[in-house]
Structure formats: structure tokens, C-alpha cells
Amino acid sequence: MKRKPFPWRKLTPSQIALMERIAEADGALRYDKLEYRDLVVFEELRRLKLVDMRPKGRSKLEVVLTAKGSELRRDAYRTEQIVVRVTEPQIELLRHLDDCHSHEDSVGRTVHELPGMMLDVCRRMSLRGWVEWHGGWEGLRWARLTPAGREVLAAIEAMDEAVAQMAEAKRRGQLQ
């Protein structure tokens, strides 16, 4: 059975970082100066109506916080709104990268240990700030969960355990 996406109600580290950069830049960043990762985050925040684009002069655009975005920033980024829906392939990647018991010492997985389908998922998760890449010896790269990625995985695991307990209780109730 296909799993429903997990509703995550906390801004990602990348989303918070972009909103902070906008605020620190007197409330506006030039759109043409954004890097690819910033553009991806901008589109996510724009869909949430936390940032928007406005013209600056005759031919330039800038990224600004909306009133809702400014309010969320003042409230220390606490929200009940679903920010991201974590899909089944993303959950599989988080579990795949959660490879050892001592998380602080985890070196993660090499790019060669990631199945081909997971590479793009891993790239997307690194754009969110849930996975980080590290360079190793001989140019080998390693992907590893960030603390924020571990937090997402812990929430998913807790929800899965609660669902399993409810299913078990339901099954026992039907048997007795």
C-alpha cells in the first residue's frame, strides 16, 4: 500500500535562512542575485505566501517578506500550517541515511551507496537543509542527515509507531 505524504509543520533550515537574509538586507534581496538553491526555497515560500516578488525600478525584481512572513518571523517561525509534505521516497532516503546509532559520529553514505533513484531525492533534501554533503578523500562525496533531518525522521518514526499501536489495539479488539 502506498504511503501518504507526512505533513511537516516546521520551516526547513533553508527556508528560515532565506527569510533571515531578506530581513537582514533591509527587507529585500535582488532576485537576479539568488542562487539556484535560493530560487527553489523562494518558490516554496512563495506558495506558502511568506515571500513575494516586487519590481524595483524599471527592469529589476526583488524578493521581499510578506506581512504573513514578517509575522511568522516575529513568532520565531512557529506555525501550524503544513510547510512541506514529506513523500515516501524522501522518507526512504532519510531512513537510508540514518545509518548508525551514534548520530554525531555518522559519516553518512557515499554517493556510490545511494541507489540511482535516491540521488535526485538526496539533492532536493540537501536544498531543504535536511541532508548535507561532505567531501572526502580522493574526491568521494558523502551524504549525511543534518540535525533538522534527524528531527523530521524522528517525527515520522513516532507517527509510524503510533499508527502501528493503534492498528494492533484495533486488531486485538476485533479478536477478543
pLDDT at position 71 is 94
Q: Please check whether residues 103 and 66 belong to one and the same domain.
A: no
Q: What is the block-wise mean pLDDT of the chain (176 residues), using blocks of 10 residues? A: 87 96 93 94 96 90 95 92 93 86 63 86 93 82 92 94 86 69
pLDDT at position 101 is 46
Q: Please check whether residues 92 and 170 belong to one and the same domain.
A: yes
Q: What does the block give as the cell for 145?
A: 542527515
CA distance 99 to 119: 17
Per DSSP, the three-state class of 152 is helix
Q: Please check whether residues 114 and 152 belong to one and the same domain.
A: yes
Final residue before a domain boundary, out of 46, 74, 102: 74
CA distance 103 to 101: 6
Q: Tell whether 80 is covered by a domain.
A: no
pLDDT at position 86 is 95
Q: How many CA within 13 A on the CB side of residue 74? A: 7
Q: Tell me the residue range of the domain where 46 lies.
A: 6-74
pLDDT at position 40 is 95
Number of compact structural domains in the chain: 2
CA distance 14 to 41: 7
pLDDT at position 21 is 96
Query: What are 77's strand-pairing partners?
Result: none
Q: Can you list the positions of beta strands (E) in the chain?
A: 6-8, 28-30, 51-56, 60-65, 84-86, 109-110, 131-135, 141-145
